[in-house]
Amino acid sequence: MFSMNDKASARQVTILLILDLFGTAALTLPRRAAEFASEDAWMVVIGGVVLALIYGFLITSVATLFPQDSFVEFSGKIVTKPIGMALSLLLMAKLMAGVALEVRVFGEILKQTLLPKTPIEVIIISMLLITAYLIRKGYECRARIAEILVVIVFLPLIFVFLLALFNADFTNLLPMFKTPAPKILEGAYYLGFTFGGLEVMLLATMFLVKPKRAPRVTTTAIIVVGFFNVAVTLITLATFGSMETNKQIWPTMQMMQSVNFPGLFIERQDVLMMSFWILSVFAIVNAGLFFISFIATRMLKSSEHYYLVLPFVPILYFISLIPDNIAQTYEWLDFMNRYFGIIFLFPVPLILLMIAKMRKLGDTVE
Amino acid sequence: MKFIKKREKKISKEEFAPHPEDALHDENNKVTGALSTDLDENIERLDILFKDCNDLVKRKFPMGTQQRTNMYIAYIDLMVDRKTIEMSVLDQLILGIRDVPPSAPELKQSLYESMRDGGLATADIKEVDTMDEVTLAILSGDTVLFMDGYAKVIIIATKGWPNRGIQAPETEVVVQGPKEAFSESLRMNTVLIRRRIRDTKLKVKQLQIGTRSRTDIALVYMEDIVRPSILEELEKRLHSIEIDAILESGYIQQLIEDDWNSPFPQIQTTERPDKTASSILEGRIAIVVDNTPFVLIAPAVFASFFQAAEDYYQRWHVMSFVRLIRYVAGFFAAALPGLYIALTTFHPAMIPTPLALAMAGAREAVPFPAVIEVVIMELAFELLREAGIRLPAPIGSTIGIVGGLIIGQAAVEAGIVSPIIVIIVAVTAISSFAIPAISMTNGFRIMKYIIILCSAFLGLYGFWLGVLVLLIHLVSLKSFNIPYMYPYVSCNLNGYNDLKDSIIRVPTFLINKRPLFARADQRIRMKSSPKKK
């Protein structure tokens, strides 16, 4: 029942995925949505969620064909070994860039808000090291700690959102349905990338006790995170209006800062919220680093998992320090999303699925 | 060098000189050999084995009126119930037998059998035929009876050494609930459990560990509720222990725990029979060790250490509230000093302005940074606690007053520490005592310093890193294959039932299922109650 076989229940994988998808993106989400469709920003976010559901469906359809394999193996089976290897390497590179930039953004935000005198290097390396510590404990431990973190992260968030409703003025959302459909679709396409974390389901499906549950797991996670994203956008827009939302780098944090705690025991609750952000970023970096080392072990056919975690820590550390400043980091992140974000969400799973169906590979044959 | 070697040789010669007893022991310190039919040979071997053991009482006496057959009795003084020996053994064999006509044919033909079946007025006798069993019986407080011409020995259960009896528990006191605690006698402890569960499926499986101490250990469990895999694993671990002596259950606990390297206990200890009985009924296994009142309960998860016996005896509202308070206390015990350091030194903006000003005012005269201040006071408190534990009770309270009140007050007045620190340290200390299990408190006590260190370096971020390290460690633990943080992780395993008795305690009629420790087909605890059909 509890043997150390690196398997997790559907519930656990759902929670891991929720933590993975809901992260720093939500800090900037209202601004990015408002850029596309001012008052109708929430529609853009919903569009993103719908797209994410499609991505999730494609990814899990392909992954459930091969319940025992990860992307590294089944891509090789479907489109010959060399191409599969190339695809895996590309996925690894993308994850690495993603994690490195994510950790950099995190370090910058943390430095600005909590630790102005601490060198960013210390923040980044300590985050990477503690992540590596957890990964060495295995997938099951990741699943278990996610179950605890999800409570610590989401309960205070829900609490703050509820309080923020007092500040919100929902007339700010009017007029509705003004934005042309193509604009909304364009926005939805870009905001769909906030669900880029779905890629890990290409690898994580095999960790499920019942891999056939993967579609349900993914859908639940996307809907939960989508609900939160829409709520954040709506509340932020209603608090500030679309013009002001547009001007702020991190409108969500501004929104939280505007919240008045009844009784006002804690001043600057945004700092308090930051501390919960630390945990959520920890979950994201953790997922990234885990699957990077996982791809590496799978490609090298190493029997012992997770030995390869430590070498990646310094590599990611150096990558994360390449951008000169936070603006450049965001530029790079944007660039990466724009040109590479879609690859593993839509084309690769779709093509793999089609080829697999044509060649009658995987579990569909029976 | 040569000189040293020579000396070593000399010493080793002396030390390894063969003992006269060695011939009678094998390499595992077990007494070898079978019994002889010749009584004098047996006595001679016993005399060699018990040479210089002056606490052995022995007597050779002729049986009956004709006095043709000799018998030999031996026991350790005061370890036995003398009355039993004198009334039901010696009286029968020396005096009572005279009433039997010496010519009775059965006496002549089968003297031994008739002596065994008719001569001993006690139910608890046993026959053995090896010297090892004989010596063990003597050393455990039984009486051995040799008879000339027979290679068998009768062991009469006469254990009855003085002990302190059943007293009130000292470490787990309750307001409402039974007030008896385990004591040092294994049998008495198993009786305390048996009295609470009158079921033949309550098994008391005994074994001995320790090549020299031969300590009795009893596994007490419900045969049909316990998970076979856990029982098997536990027995495997127990049987692989080869040690000279087990003096307290802590030895066993540390030897069979899953992770020896964790500050957190993965096996529960208790001195309350009611708590033990309830754990056994949950499908857990109690390990009763002779000579200690502390019984081990395995498997144990994090949440077990926050449950007290009384939680189930009082109304659920207040007990749920108390549970919550205990978890908060656990958090404070580990994290409060760290949080204080993080907030005061890195993020004073988070503290409400009036409070921040008050704290800054109080800290004004203090020459040390907050970290040093906290560490000094925490260590001072540890010192006080350590000094207080071993002092006799009357002096103990003096230490409390002198150490806690006077020195604390003086330190604040001298400007070495700020009054806020004294409050923080005191709250941390009180919190740590609010957790029912001392062993769990000790885990938090160690983690506290790690979190202090992290917070001192990286403020609130460091504080969370410290908490994460703590959490990662906790989720990686297992107790006999049950995740340590269950039911806070994988809570769906038993249909979310175990959350009912976790951070809160729901009304008694709702706790109708046994927890995950029980076998899957034995999970129903309560079939009906007036509240629920």
Question: Quick one: average pLDDT of A138-149?
Answer: 90
Q: Give the model's confidence band at A127: pLDDT under 50 very low, under 70 low, under 90 confident, else very high.
A: very high
Distance CA B302, CA B281 (A): 19
Chain A residues with CB under 8 Å of B472 CB are 130, 133-134, 137, 141, 145
**What CATH topology corresponds to A10-364?**
Amino acid/polyamine transporter I (1.20.1740)
Residue type (1 letter), A350: L
pLDDT score for A21: 87
CB A168 within 8 A of CB A36: no
Spell out the residues 6+ positions from residue A64 whose beta carbon is closer than 8 angstroms to its own.
Answer: A205, A211, A212, A214, A215, A363
State pLDDT tens for residues A70-94.
Answer: 888 888 888 888 999 999 999 999 9
- CB contacts, 8 Å: A2 with chain B: 478, 481-483
Region B248-252: mean pLDDT is 94
Say how many CB pairs under 8 Å bridge A and B. Answer: 97
- pLDDT band (50, 70, 90) for residue B67: low
The answer to whether residues B197 and B280 touch, using CB atoms and an 8 Å cutoff, is yes
A54 touching B (Cβ < 8 Å)? no
Specify whether the backbone of B524 is left (phi greater than 0), alpha (psi in -120 to 50) or beta. Answer: beta
Collect all residues with Cβ–Cβ distance below 8 Å to B411 and sequence separation of at least 6.
Answer: B417, B422
pLDDT in tens, A102-112: 899 889 888 88
**Which of the residue ranges B78-82, B304-308, B414-418, B497-501 has the most confident prediction, judged by mean pLDDT?**
B304-308
What is the pLDDT at residue A365? Answer: 43
Distance CA B159, CA B136 (A): 12
Please give the structure tokens belonging to residue B37: 């039919």
B515-532 pLDDT, tens digit per residue, is: 999 998 888 888 888 876
pLDDT for res B202: 96
User: What are the pLDDT digits (tens) for A204-223?
Assistant: 888 888 888 899 999 999 99
Answer for the pair A27, B505: CB distance below 8 angstroms, yes or no: no
Which residues face B529 on adjacent strands? B532
Average pLDDT over residues A223-245: 87
Task: Assess whether the previous peptide bond of A175 is cis (omega < 30° from 0).
Answer: yes
Tokens of A240: 């500030």
Distance between A147 CA and the closest CA of chain B, angstroms: 6
Mean pLDDT within B39-47: 90
Percent pLDDT > 90 in chain B is: 47
Cα–chain-centroid distance for residue B37?
Answer: 43
Q: What is the pLDDT of residue A271?
A: 63
Q: How far is A41 from chain B (nearest CA, A)?
A: 32
E strands present in B38-152: 56-62, 70-76, 125-128, 143-147
Across A242-261, average pLDDT: 77
From B183, B432, B474, B429, select the one nearest B329 (Cα to Cα): B432
What are the extents of the domains in chain A?
Answer: 10-364
Mean pLDDT score, B19-28: 74
Q: What pLDDT is recorded for position B16?
A: 63
Q: For B134-163, what is each residue's pLDDT tens digit?
A: 999 999 889 999 988 888 899 998 888 888
A133 or B64, which is more confident?
A133
Share of chain A above pLDDT 90, in %: 26
Are the C-beta atoms of B176 and B313 separated by less than 8 Å? Answer: yes
CB contact under 8 A, B489 and A143: yes
SS3 B266: coil
Tell me if B458 and A126 make a contact (CB, 8 A cut-off).
yes
Q: What's the token pair of residue B19? A: 């003992």
Distance (Å) from the C-alpha of residue A273 to the closest C-alpha of chain B? 11
Q: What is the DSSP letter of B240?
A: T
Mean of pLDDT values over A150-170 = 83
Please report the ipTM that was assigned to this predicted complex.
Answer: 0.91
Interface of A with B in 262-291 (CB under 8 A): 264-268, 271-272, 274-275, 278-279, 282
**Bigger pLDDT: B236 vs B386:** B236
**Closest of B320, B441, B447 to residue B385, by C-alpha:** B441
pLDDT above 70 for B287: yes
Return the H-helix or E-strand segment holding B452: helix B438-476
- Chain B positions touching A149 (Cβ under 8 A) are 471
Q: Are B505 and B319 spatial neighbours (Cβ–Cβ below 8 Å)?
A: yes
| Mean pLDDT estimate for chain B | 87
Which of A124, A314, A309, A137 lies closest to B465 in space, CA to CA?
A124
pLDDT value of residue A310: 87
- Distance (Å, rounded) from C-alpha B311 to C-alpha A105? 47
CB–CB contact A2 B476 (8 Å): no
pLDDT tops 80 at residue A349: yes
Average pLDDT over every residue of B357-377: 86
pLDDT mean across residues, chain A: 85
Model confidence pLDDT, tens digit, residues B442-501: 999 999 999 999 999 998 899 999 999 999 999 999 999 899 998 898 888 888 888 888
Residue B264 and residue B474: Cα distance in Å, rounded? 8
Distance of CA B129 to CAs A179, B33, B197, Å? 99, 9, 36
- Mean pLDDT, rounded, for B77-97: 84
Chain A residues with CB inside 8 Å of B302's CB? none
Provide mean pLDDT across the span B207-222. Answer: 93
- How many CB atoms lie under 10 A from the CB of residue B354? 8
Which residues does chain B have within 8 Å of residue A110's beta carbon, measured at their own beta carbons? 461
pLDDT in tens, A182-193: 888 888 888 888
Query: Using CB atoms, which residue from B351, B465, B491 is nearest to A126?
Result: B465
Closest residue to A278, CB basis, from B464, B469, B475: B464
Rounded CA-CA distance B324/B330 in Å is: 10
Beta partners for residue A37, in sequence order: none
Residue A179 CA to residue B267 CA, distance in Å, equals 63
Dist. CA B266–CA B254, nearest whole Å = 9
Yes or no, beta carbons of B349 and A274 under 8 Å apart:
no
Domain ranges of chain B: 20-156, 186-300, 312-483
pLDDT digits (tens, 9 = 90+) for B291-320: 999 999 999 999 999 999 889 999 999 999
Distances B271 to B219, B295, B447 between C-alpha atoms, Å: 16, 6, 26
CA B118 from centre of chain? 42
The SS3 assignment for B171 reads coil
